[in-house]
Structure 1
Amino acid sequence: MRGLIIGYYKIMPPSLTRVLIIAPTPFFADRGCHVHIAEQALALQRKNIKTIIATYGLGRDIKGLKTIRTWRLPWYKQEAIGPSWHKFYLDILLFFVAVVAVWRFKPQVIHGHLHEGCLIGWGISRLFNLPLVFDCQGSLTGELIAHKFILTRSAALQRFWYALEQKIDHLPAIILAQSTEMRRELIERFKINPKRIVMAYDGVNTRIFQPQQPDPQLLHDLKLPTDRPIIVYLGGLSPHKGVDILLKAFQVVLSTNPDVYLLLMGYPNETVYQHLAEALHINHHTRITGRVRYEDAPRYLALGDIAVAPKRTQTEANGKIYNYMATGLPTVAFDTVVNRDILGDIGVYTNPAEDFRGLAQAINKLLSDPIAARVIAGQVRSKAVTKYSWDNVANRIISAYRRVQVSWQLHVFHVSIRKQAKWRWLSRALAHHLRANATCLDVGSGVGTLSYLQEKMGGQWTFIETDPATAKQTRAIVQGRVLTSDIYDQSLPPNSYQIITVSDVIEHLTDVDRFLSRLRELLLPSGHIFITTPADDQGFYLFRYLADKVFHIDQAAHGHTRDGFAWTELVKLGASANLTIVHSTQFSKAFTELIELTYNAAYKTLHQPSRVTTGYNLALSPSNPLDFAQHEKLLPLLRLIHPLLVAVAALDYLLPASFGYEWGIVLTKDTNATRPHST
């Protein structure tokens, strides 16, 4: 079962309006991953999608973004990138915070950042039956190894993390990838279906990051000259980010270009790198600012003439490059697939194998040709504006959201134990006869729940529904033709359909013989008809009595002309239409029916007496999104015990097949086929 709790909230209209973002990190802490999360959320909001970010208690708020946080724990103060023992319990706390966020915010999609966010999001998606999108920013195992986390020091532990990462990667409906190399690794190493990967890329706020004149006061405060070339780096200060390599490369650059300066902006480990600069004798030309607020980053980057991105990882996102480009900075980077994805042919590259010497050579190349540097500066700015705006990224993300959105009909299906029982039988029966190119007819499609599921199995489907409003609901979720008509419509050609499905229709008819004869006329000689209908079983008279006399759920009010059909009656009706029953069974037994009756009883008890339930038989079956929202709003406590109800329904397996409330029968034109007894 895909979801456990669904009745906690009112189902939204089909339009996408609310997204819960799970960020298992001390958001916001002025670093690349957090910029990625924040700018995505702001761009989505500009597209009229409300967002809320569930995150750790540590971190600062960003104007325009709504967050819900875990408790702020006084002993947890690590805002820098990298693994931490604290995250094991912080992520458990974040899970419960996300549960509260879903209950209050009523999102339609869960967007999990990082592998921890995907795992938490998966738990939430299972609990509330919501689609999950995973924003993958790199390899979990690769990052743990790069940071020399103690739990990756042996090959066995590394295999454990790899297996866990592979499992997590297979949990979401869609993965958002930031580079083609990341996509390749997901497909080849982690065996992800390419259809589940959407290339979202990263982005930059080109309204904030743009070319501007250097701020004289800022240059003065940083003790930087106004007439000397300045190399800038903005990002995390750690070996994983390539900062050690950058300082060694700058030592080489300074030996040939003694007037150049290096501006390192970021955290943590500022003292460590200050000491390294002193050891390399480059400290007089190196400025280390420490942490720079994201809002101030454009002013700092504007001081530079050349930017450097010294990270060498093959799959991890490199978001700083987007900011460099938008600011109009020619960028030196290692020649990796990730960096080429972003910069294309306008990057200044060096082979990763050449280490700091190759990086120094690339920097010197730009310093020696200022005209070429200015040309590149214009090109990178233009590319950032046209290709990498966050609004473009948001459009790609929204398209991914729409691919995983669940219709209200499927929400109904995932909480209706009877509908699931019916589909278990029908899907198994269809699987024996349905072919990819089979012509199929669904009679009485209703709101389209089973119609959608049938169509997903294959075949070329036509759907018929007499009620225009109900047919409209079917059209919203199926691809095939939907006719607002009945089976006597002359546009339906005889001898044309290999599969005909009729779910809960014949109990509404006054002339079943004529109806079955028409089905036979439409059926191909080798075709099959699949029918579900209530059984005329005395064992269910108690349920019907309670439904009618106690809770005033009258079957006649729903168009039923009879309680159900006995086995002998079904055989007789088939024979009169020259159809043979080749398979029959009964499903939806006593415990399932008791639960469905409970749904209706709770609805009738909690709601105003004047309202009549729209359910057929004893089942709660909303007819449109607003109807479903009304049901769901009134049944939150009952839905909370849905897992218990599933367990109770499983007791049906202990009962004989003849105890089923509903028939499932398969008929053919073959009058020589063996007629089975009721099973």
Structure 2
Amino acid sequence: MVAACPFPANHGSPASIREMSEALVRQGHEVHIVTYPIKEDIPVDARVDIHRVHVPFLRNCGVKVGPSYEKFLFDPLMVIKLVWTIWKYKIDVIHAHNYEGALVGWLAKLFTGRPMLYNAVNSMADELPTYNFIKPKRFAVWLGEFLDNVVPRTGDFVTVVSDSLKTFLLGKKVPESRVVVVPAGVNLDMFDQGSGERVREKHGLQGRPLVVYTGTLEQFQRIDYLLQAMRDVVREMPEACLLLVGNIPHKANQALYTDMAASLGIGQSVRFIDSVSLDELPDYLAAADVTVVPRPECPGHPVKLLNYMAAGRPVVSFEGGAKGLHHMYNGYLVNDHDTAAFGEGVVALLRDPELAASLGRHARSTITGHFDWDTLTQGIVLIYWMMLEKRYDAAAHSELARYLHTDYLLRFVERDLPLSEGHTGSRVDRRQSSDRIGFAERRQVTFVGAEPLPQLNVKKSDGPAAEDPPIAGVSKVKARTC
């Protein structure tokens, strides 16, 4: 695994890399992670080998999201460390995550000849300019577009975390036979024991309606939209409170949004909670009456959204960030950039706890059996085999469909109709809440182009997983990945 980022860390890609690696070693594979010297105090399965680059004169580099000057030192050293690790441990496959990881992995691939799987989680043209790191902004946009065109071609195979990102890469002429959707997974058990009362008592919020956002304060997350929507919420429900829960302090952006909240007249209704550990996250989600995804342009799959769904919390989201959600079935969706409608959605769920609870239950049931790491990583192992055997034909993709859906778009199917008579449907008017939820209870949710996944015989304790039926053309897949 090439993790050109802090690792382990409690956000986005580092969290997914950790959980993916732990699932792979549970299945008996050997996993090495090449990464930065920066980390958080989060336990990682001891069977995962971690190799860090070191820069002796750099001290106290905290966890950051996005570009930084340290990366200009770390990334060249990552190439050397990766090549050394591949040769020393006889690695079979390079599995690179994100843009920096792909570039590091590609250079190591040139030296070692090992096949590389690139895991794409975002597009860069829309995200890179928001960090305000590269000036002028026009150059940041150009560089992002250049990377979007070049980086996906460095991999022998590409996994993407959402269907919209797959469509984006196909538009960049990446061969369809080399791209498959593998959404970020989630650990459902982690959210079963959250205590919302503990959080409410800690922050003196007993009895107040709580809206919770978890994640970073980077500008592409559109916290400005969330604050504008919250102004409308507070106007309707003065006791409502927004918690912005993060694990990575961002003093500049926190100051920016603190001033913005004050200018909107909601300064007393917004709380910033930073340095929240992974162990505390279930408590904050359990405390939430409503959770929010305020990002409209989101080609990837927000990990925060998976956490919300796993915790069974009702979600209000712009359509662009609502991966895996269907309006009024397992979430409340509004048109992108419409902050007034976003605020209406939050108020609607705060005022209708029965509706909110139903959306939360459906959200959790949607991901159960479809987004668990033990299933997803068996599909990833098949991709390793496809690269090693150079098999990208229809038969190989047919085997892959045993573990991964053709896509992860939702549709409704009437319970009393055959599966073939279902339809995807468009977003229903958000004002039909009370009628719509009764209608939704009569339907089941499934994924376009795919049957429910089979229950896989994956051993959850130490040691390799139990044997599954043989894969066409190979009796057993076991890989060393780096």
Report the CA distance between 1:119 and its aligned residue: 1.4
Q: 1:166 to 1:298 in 2, by over 3 A?
A: same
Match in the other structure for 1:105: 89
**Cα distance in 2 for residues equivalent to 1:255 and 1:219:** 22
**Cα distance in 1 for residues equivalent to 2:77 and 2:303:** 29
Q: 2:335 is matched with which residue: 348, 351, 368?
A: 351
Amino acid at match of 2:119: D
Instruction: Tell whether 2:249 aligns with 1:265.
Output: no
Report the CA distance between 1:197 and its aligned residue: 0.3
Q: 1:249 to 1:478 in 2, by over 3 A?
A: closer
Q: 2:383 is matched with which residue: 384, 392, 400?
A: 400
Report the CA distance between 1:212 and its aligned residue: 4.2
Match in the other structure for 2:305: 321
Q: Report the aligned-residue RMSD.
A: 2.4
Instruction: Tell whether 2:200 aligns with 1:219.
Output: yes
Q: 1:161 to 1:63 in 2, by over 3 A?
A: closer
Deviates more, 1:159-168 or 1:36-45: 159-168
**Cα distance in 2 for residues equivalent to 1:284 and 1:123:** 51
Amino acid at match of 1:377: G
Match in the other structure for 2:142: 159
Q: 1:144 to 1:152 in 2, by over 3 A?
A: farther
**Cα distance in 2 for residues equivalent to 1:272 and 1:164:** 29
Amino acid at match of 1:37: I
Deviates more, 1:128-137 or 1:79-88: 79-88
Determine what percentage of the aligned residue pairs are the same residue.
Answer: 26
Unmatched runs of 5 consecutive residues or more in structure 2: 391-469, 474-482
Amino acid at match of 2:191: F
Report the CA distance between 1:386 and its aligned residue: 2.4
Match in the other structure for 1:199: 181
Give SS of 1:221's match: helix
Contact 1:130 1:406 in 2 (8 A): no
Q: How does 1:484-633 map to 2 (within 5 A)?
A: none
Report the CA distance between 1:380 and its aligned residue: 1.0
Match in the other structure for 1:175: 158
**Cα distance in 2 for residues equivalent to 1:228 and 1:404:** 53
Q: 1:295 to 1:166 in 2, by over 3 A?
A: same
Q: 1:342 to 1:178 in 2, by over 3 A?
A: farther
**Cα distance in 2 for residues equivalent to 1:352 and 1:332:** 12
Contact 2:296 2:337 in 1 (8 A): no
Greater fraction of residues in helix: 1
Amino acid at match of 1:170: R
Contact 1:246 1:310 in 2 (8 A): yes
Match in the other structure for 2:3: 23
Give SS of 1:315's match: coil
Match in the other structure for 1:297: 281
Report the CA distance between 1:284 and its aligned residue: 2.3
Q: 1:101-152 CA deviation, whole Å, 9 max, x = no partner?
A: 2133322111000111111111212222211000101112322123233246
Contact 1:205 1:389 in 2 (8 A): yes
Name the structure, 1 or 2, with higher relative contact order (CA <8 Å, separation 6+).
Answer: 2
Report the CA distance between 1:406 and its aligned residue: 4.6
Instruction: Give me the TM-score of the superposition, normalised by structure 2.
Output: 0.75
Contact 2:128 2:141 in 1 (8 A): no
Contact 1:30 1:291 in 2 (8 A): no
Give SS of 2:125's match: helix
**Cα distance in 2 for residues equivalent to 1:67 and 1:256:** 51
Amino acid at match of 1:318: P
Give SS of 1:246's match: helix
Contact 2:22 2:44 in 1 (8 A): no
Match in the other structure for 1:86: 70
Contact 2:125 2:143 in 1 (8 A): no
Contact 1:182 1:316 in 2 (8 A): yes
Give SS of 1:349's match: strand
Amino acid at match of 2:77: L
**Cα distance in 2 for residues equivalent to 1:244 and 1:301:** 21
Q: 1:392-436 CA deviation, whole Å, 9 max, x = no partner?
A: 2212212211211259xxxxxxxxxxxxxxxxxxxxxxxxxxxxx
Match in the other structure for 2:357: 374
**Cα distance in 2 for residues equivalent to 1:168 and 1:280:** 41
Match in the other structure for 2:16: 36
Match in the other structure for 1:47: 27
Q: 1:69 to 1:161 in 2, by over 3 A?
A: same
Q: 1:272 to 1:159 in 2, by over 3 A?
A: closer
Amino acid at match of 1:360: G
Q: 1:477 to 1:335 in 2, by over 3 A?
A: closer
Report the CA distance between 1:330 and its aligned residue: 0.7
Report the CA distance between 1:162 and its aligned residue: 2.2
Aligned length: 385
Q: 1:276 to 1:75 in 2, by over 3 A?
A: farther
Amino acid at match of 1:77: C
**Cα distance in 2 for residues equivalent to 1:343 and 1:127:** 46
**Cα distance in 2 for residues equivalent to 1:388 and 1:86:** 34
Amino acid at match of 2:12: G
Q: How does 1:445-460 map to 2 (within 5 A)?
A: none
Q: 1:9-41 CA deviation, whole Å, 9 max, x = no partner?
A: xxxxxxxxxxxx001112223211211111111
Report the CA distance between 1:78 and its aligned residue: 4.6
**Cα distance in 1 for residues equivalent to 2:278 and 2:326:** 22
Match in the other structure for 1:446: none
Amino acid at match of 2:309: M
Q: 1:74 to 1:159 in 2, by over 3 A?
A: closer
Give SS of 1:287's match: strand
